[in-house]
Structure formats: structure tokens, C-alpha cells
Structure 1
């Protein structure tokens, strides 16, 4: 394998399966190549297998079958502390009886580095996470955000080639989470390590990742760039899990490689992009993002128009969410900017909703749990 191939396949999961009871698989045929220096997020609901994949790479869990490689070499028989992997956990895992400086020094002392080098690396690590004056404090004297920065610094202090992060921001409030997202991305860009990040927070994944692997029931449904996952999800599960989506049930009237015509329950015929559309005559799902669905009005009417009953609206600051109900009971949401054009509608009144064909997606029914779509 050439140098460029190794860099493109720096971390490899090859047909990896994991079972704890030798009967049920929690990870099923997991295949993923990660480039050197890439930031990849494993995203999915609780119990979908993403943390198990992280633990197998770290060496804390055995692989039932398949292989994991780092830099072109199998790590099957390599002890965790010889894999050169840093780890950041949700609950910090700092030693409470040690000062911050001692916590940072610990992985270096385990590696038997000279004291002068340990002291310099600790000083540099504190500066890296902007905690220069906190070396003599104890974890109990720090805020949650400060503790997580120390945990991050400790995972980086021995200059690992790979850093694994398992829900590292789960214990922080919204503002701290957003600040730490910026900090992690800054350090990743500055130091160039390969990052594999586990979360169930879709916004976090979209904000931080070069690529996202979306898990469901031990299977990767799709692995791609954030924009591709959002704009062209591979199936109904990904469309529903990544961002907000309106799901309208219908039947395929006709389809070609580009578009599909869908018949709705009341007889309306609408069109959408053919992303993963079933054959003619089969039930399907039409997905339209709330920001791509509009209340029709002068100068704002697209290819598709349907009627729906207005229920209520929610004020959320910079935007307003309008909720509607179709004749078959399905609910739809329209998201609009909170400006002078935001309409006022009486509950119970009928409204016309509209969207462009290239803003709607014709998809399969909810994804079969054993399907795999990786790109």
C-alpha cells in the first residue's frame, strides 16, 4: 500500500461485527475508512452501536469478527496503551486527588518521560487550552467547561495520532457546548490529529465534522459530508434523523432517474427528486424540510401546492414555526424568519402550502434495519 493510500485509509474498520452474547449483533458489518487528519463523527440514537465501535478501536472491547487497522497494520493483538490513541469521555475521568498539572502529567509519567520534558509539556498543554493559571487547582475547583478542557488537553499531551471522543460535551449546557465545539475544532485544525467523535446530537455533528456516519441498530445507514446528508439523505431514517423534516405519505405514480410523481391520500399529485424511491405503485415518503416548505402567496408559489388546516404557531426568537394538519391527519411544519413578512393566520383556517420539486425528496418507507448505504 502506497503512502497516499495509507493516509486515505489511516483507520480502517473492515467487516467488523460485535456481539456480547454470541447471538445478537450490536454492530453489523461495519466498514469505514478514515483519512489521516480527518474529523469523522459517529452519529445515531442510543444503543445504535457507535460507542461500541469507538471502544473496539481503542482496544477496550474485542472484535467478534472482522478487522481494525491503523496506519496499514492490524491492531487486533495490540494493547490499548500501545495504540497511540487519546481518549476524551463525557464525565472527564480526572483524578480528583491530583492537581490539574498532575492530571496532565500522569500519561507522560506512565510513559517514563524525563521530568523536565514532562513539566514543559504540561505548561504547553495548559496554554493550549487557555488554562495557564490553573495548574495548581484541583478538578473540584473547576467549572464543567474547564474540566472538559483539561480532559481534552490530557488526551493530547502525549501527541497521539488519533483522538477518540465519546459524547464529550454531553454534560455541558448549551452555551458551554457551543464554545467547546469551537475549541475542539480549533485544536483539531491546529494540531492535525485524526478525530473520531461519538454523539447523538445532530447539530453538533453537522457543525464539527468532515464526514458523518449515521448509525441505526448496528448498521451505518449513510456516511458522507454533512451537506450531503442534509440535502440528499440515503433513506427515510437519515432524512428524519438529520435535521427536521416533514414526512408526507403517498404512492408512487411515476418515476425516472431524476424525479418522481407521487399521489397523496386526497388525490393530489406532487413531484420530488428521486433519491431512493420505490417502484411505481408502491407506498413512499415525501420529505420536505420546514425551511423549504412555504405558505403560498403573491410571488411565492412553486411547482407543488397542497391544502392544509392551520393549527398553531410557535415563536422561537429569530424564527416562527407554523404547524398545519393535512386531511389524513399528517402534521406539517413551516419555518419562517421572524420578520415583517411573517403571516398571521387564524387557527382552523385552510392554507395553501407550496414547495419546489428540487426541494422535496421521494424516499423509501422507514429504512429496513439491515440496509446499508455508505458513500
Structure 2
């Protein structure tokens, strides 16, 4: 295998399965190649298997079957502390009785580095996360954001080739979380380590990742770049889990391999891109993002038009969300910029909604009622 191949397959999960009771699988035949220096996020609902994959890579959980490799070599028989992996947890895992400098020094002392080198590395790590003056403080004297920066610095101080992060920002408020997203990305770009990040927060995943692996029930539904996941989801689960989506139940009337024609409950016929569309005659789901669905006006009407009843609107600051109900009870949402063109609609008013064919996706199975997720 060439150096180029090893770099492209720096971390490999090959047909990995995990069972805790030898009966049911928590992780089902998971395969993924991660490039050296890549930032990959494992995204999915609670209990979907993403943290278990992280723990198996770290060596804290055994693999039931399959293989995990780092740099071309299996790590099944390699102890966790010999895998050169840094870990960052949601609840920091700092030693409360140690100062910040002592917390940072701990993994270096375990590796028996000389005292002078430990001192310099601690100083450099504090500077890296902009906490130069905090070495003498204890964790209890720091804010949540400062603690997480210390935890991040501690995971990086021994220069690991891989850093694993398990919901590291889950305990922080919105503003701190957004700031720490920037900090983590800055350090990743600056230091070039391979990052594998676990979260159930789709916005966090879209913001930070080179690629995202979307989990559901122990199976990766799709692994792709943020834009590919958002624009061309592989199935209805990914379409619903990544960002907000309107789902409309229908039936496939025709399909040329690129564009599917779909009949809706009231008899309307619309067209959409065939992403993972069932055969002709089968039920399907039409997915349209709220920002791609428009209130039809004289100046804006696309090739797909349906009628719906206006319910209410939700003011979100920079945008306004308009909620509509179709004749079969399905709810739709239109997201509009909060500017002078944002329309005023009377509750109950019949309204025509429109979208372009290339902005609708024909997907694999019908969604239930009320698929729109609240902000």
C-alpha cells in the first residue's frame, strides 16, 4: 500500500459490529475510511451507535467482530494508552484537586517526559487555548467554556495523531458553543490532527466537518460532505435529520431516472429529482427545504404549484417562518428573510406555494404527519 493510500485510509473501520449482550447489535457492519488530517463527524440520535464507535477506536470498548486500523495496522490488541489518541468529553474530566497546569502536565508525566519539557509544553498549551494566566487556578474557578478549552488543550498536549471528541460542547450555552466550534476548527487547521467528533447537533456537524457520517439504529445511512448531505440526502431519514425539511406523501406516476412525477393526495401532480425514489406506482415522499418553498406571487412562480391554508407565522429575528396546512392535514413551512418583502397573510387564507423541480427530492418512503421540526 502506498503512502498516499495509507493517508486516505488513515483510520479504517472494516465491517465492525458491536454487541453488549451477544444477541442484539448496537453497531451493525460499520465501515468507514478517514483521511489523515480530516475532520469527520459521527452524527445521529441518542442510542444510534456513534459513541460506541468512538469508544472502540479509543480502545475503551472491545470490537465484537470486524477490524479497526490506524495507519495500516490493526489496533485490536493495542492498549488505549499506546494508540496515540487524545480524548475530549462533554463533562471535561478534569482532576478537581489539580491546578490547570497540573491537569495539562498529567498525560506528559504519565509518558515520563523530562520536567523541563513538561513545563514548556504546558506553557505552550495554555497559550494555544489563550489561557496563559490560568495555570495556577483550579477547575472549580473556571467557567464552562474555560474548562472545555483546558480539556481540549490536555487532549492535544502530547501531540496525538488522532483526537476523539464525544459531545464536547453539549454542556455549554449557545454563544459559548458557537465560540468553541470556532476554537476547535482553528486548532484543527493549525495543528492538522485527525479529528473524529460525535454529536447529535446537526448544525454543529454542518458547521465543523469535512464529512459527516449519519447514524441511525447502528447503521450509517450516508457519509458525505455537509453540502452533499444537505442538498442530496440518500434517503428520507437523512433528509429529515439534516436541517429542516417539508415532507409530502405522494405516489410515483412516472420516472425517467432523473425526474420523477408524483401525484399528491388531492390530485396535484408535481415533479422532483429522483434521489432514492421507489418504482412507479409505489408511495414516496417529496422533500422540499423551507428556504426552497415560496409563496407564489406574480413575480415568483415555479413549475410546481400547490394550494395550502395559512395557519400562523413565527418570528425568528433574521427570518420569518410561515406555517401552512394541506388538505390532507400535512403541515408545510416556508422560511422567508425578515425584510420589507415579507408578506402579511390572514390566518385561514388559501395560499399558493411553489418550488422549482430541481429543489424537490423524490425519496424512499412516506413520512408521517407534521414532519416539520420546530426551531
Instruction: Give the structure 2 partner of residue 313 of structure 1.
Output: 313
Instruction: Give the structure 2 partner of residue 33 of structure 1.
Output: 33
Partner Cα separation in structure 1 for residue 12 and residue 281 of structure 2: 41
Q: CA RMSD in A?
A: 0.7
Instruction: Give the structure 2 partner of residue 228 of structure 1.
Output: 228
1:85-100 to structure 2, matched below 5 A, reads 85-100=85-100
Structure 2 length-normalised TM: 0.97
Instruction: Give the structure 1 partner of residue 346 of structure 2.
Output: 346
Partner Cα separation in structure 2 for residue 289 and residue 354 of structure 1: 12
Partner Cα separation in structure 2 for residue 227 and residue 349 of structure 1: 35
SS in structure 2 opposite 1:107?
A: helix
Instruction: Give the structure 2 partner of residue 254 of structure 1.
Output: 254
- Structure 1 residue 366 displacement after superposition: 6.0
Instruction: Give the structure 1 partner of residue 136 of structure 2.
Output: 136
Partner Cα separation in structure 1 for residue 150 and residue 216 of structure 2: 32
Partner Cα separation in structure 2 for residue 298 and residue 88 of structure 1: 54
- The answer (yes or no) to whether the contact 1:40–1:212 under 8 Å persists in 2 is yes
Which blocks of at least 5 consecutive residues in structure 1 are unaligned? 368-375
1:194-343 to structure 2, matched below 5 A, reads 194-343=194-343
- Structure 1 residue 256 displacement after superposition: 1.4
Are residues 187 and 366 of structure 1, via their aligned partners in 2, closer, same or farther at CA, if it must alter by over 3 Å? farther
Are residues 366 and 82 of structure 1, via their aligned partners in 2, closer, same or farther at CA, if it must alter by over 3 Å? farther
Stretches of 4+ moved more than 3 A in 1? none
Instruction: Give the structure 1 partner of residue 109 of structure 2.
Output: 109
Instruction: Give the structure 2 partner of residue 371 of structure 1.
Output: none
Instruction: Give the structure 1 partner of residue 165 of structure 2.
Output: 165
Partner Cα separation in structure 2 for residue 190 and residue 339 of structure 1: 39
- Structure 1 residue 339 displacement after superposition: 0.5
Which blocks of at least 5 consecutive residues in structure 2 are unaligned? 368-375
Partner Cα separation in structure 1 for residue 315 and residue 89 of structure 2: 36
Q: How many residues align?
A: 367
- Structure 1 residue 257 displacement after superposition: 1.4
Structure 1 length-normalised TM: 0.97
